[in-house]
Amino acid sequence: MSRRVLAAAIVFAAAVVRFDASARQTFSSRVEAVRVDVLVTEDGTPVPDLTAADFEVRDNGVPQRVDLVSSELIPLNVVLALDLSSSVEGGRLSNLREAGGALLDGLTRRDTAGLVTFSHVVVQPTRMTGDIDELRRALNQTKAAGATALVDGAFAGLMLAESGEGRPLLVIFSDGYDTMSWLRPELVLETAQRMDPVVYAVSVTRGRHAFLEDLTRFTGGRLFSVDSTTDLRRTFVRVLDEFRHRYLLSYSPRGVAAAGWHRLDVRVRRRAVTVQARRGYQVGPEDGGR
């Protein structure tokens, strides 16, 4: 067995172990306080200046009393998960590096970030760090080759984003469909619903991309489809700006069962706006009739 194949086998075995462990995790601070990251838009533009009184949150159908957490108090924990399959060679890779660099430029000294790349193998070139120069060097050293393990790459990105203390954001880029993953999409989607990271995805793929659509919807994020990688820089910058304009709600669950799956319904009172938030959270190992 070659060293590369052996390394891939070890990485996959570790992923399976971590996936099994993640299936028993609970969402955000257990049951004492639930945090919900919410995007409110009107005609595609984030709506500013809302207060806690503007929001209505139902936990398994039961209204909750919510507080609005100042996003300025919590640093960001941003992970880039980038498709480096052979179709990204040449100009596409240059555009992707530029886009990633532009997103890194938008981070503050308090934020941390990390990088995951995927082709037929998944690689984490750096640790989670606040050293943007280190990340930029790793990004500029990336090379494109091989097939596309999108589902595995998304899973690795989720795990890395979950590992920090800040407000977790996972940004996935892919220009193709999955051809190489070991993990099943439904298992990764199940895991994502039990975790904190909000997932934004940017795709250059024509037609529907069911996995990315589900992953972004389940976590309260968004999927952007672009016509060309020349649009990536503007889109990556937009993703970070939009994430900073999201609202972070917090509440202590009242009137609901402690264990199981908790379905969330988040609305804004008296306004015709679009609200995006994760579909729910898990307490304990039981599925609770989801």
Q: What is the pLDDT of residues 132-169, one digit of tens each?
A: 999 999 999 999 999 999 999 999 999 999 987 889 99
Write down the domain spans for the chain. 3-24+74-244, 34-71+246-283
Nearest residue to 116 via CA among 74, 75, 162, 71: 162
Instruction: Please tell me the predicted confidence (pLDDT) of residue 290.
Output: 47
This prediction's pTM: 0.88
Burial class (CB in 10 A: 0-12, 13-18, 19+), 196: buried
User: Which of the four pLDDT bands, split at 50, 70 and 90, describes residue 200?
Assistant: very high
**Are 26 and 281 a contacting pair, CB within 8 Å?**
yes
In the block, which residue shows the tokens 């596309």? 148
Distances in whole angstroms, Cα of residue 3 to Cα of each of 85, 117, 192, 277: 20, 19, 31, 43
Beta carbons within 10 angstroms of residue 165's beta carbon: 10
What does R_g of the chain's alpha carbons equal in angstroms? Answer: 19
Question: Superfamily assignment of 3-24+74-244 in CATH?
Answer: von Willebrand factor, type A domain (3.40.50.410)
Angle at 272 between CA 268 and CA 274, to 5 degrees: 70
Beta carbons within 10 angstroms of residue 226's beta carbon: 16
Residues 52-67 pLDDT 10s: 999 999 999 999 999 9
Beta carbons within 10 angstroms of residue 205's beta carbon: 15
Q: Which residues of 69-99 are buried (b: 16+ CB within 10 A; e: fewer)?
A: bebeeebbbbbbbbbbbebbeeebbebbbbb
Average pLDDT, the chain: 88
3-state helix, strand, coil in the chain (%, to 5): 35, 25, 40
Residue 11, pLDDT > 90, answer no
Instruction: Please tell me the predicted confidence (pLDDT) of residue 3.
Output: 36
**Crossing angle between the packed helical segments 3-22 and 150-162, to the nearest 10 degrees:** 60
- In the chain, % of residues over pLDDT 70: 87
User: Which of the four pLDDT bands, split at 50, 70 and 90, describes residue 29?
Assistant: very low
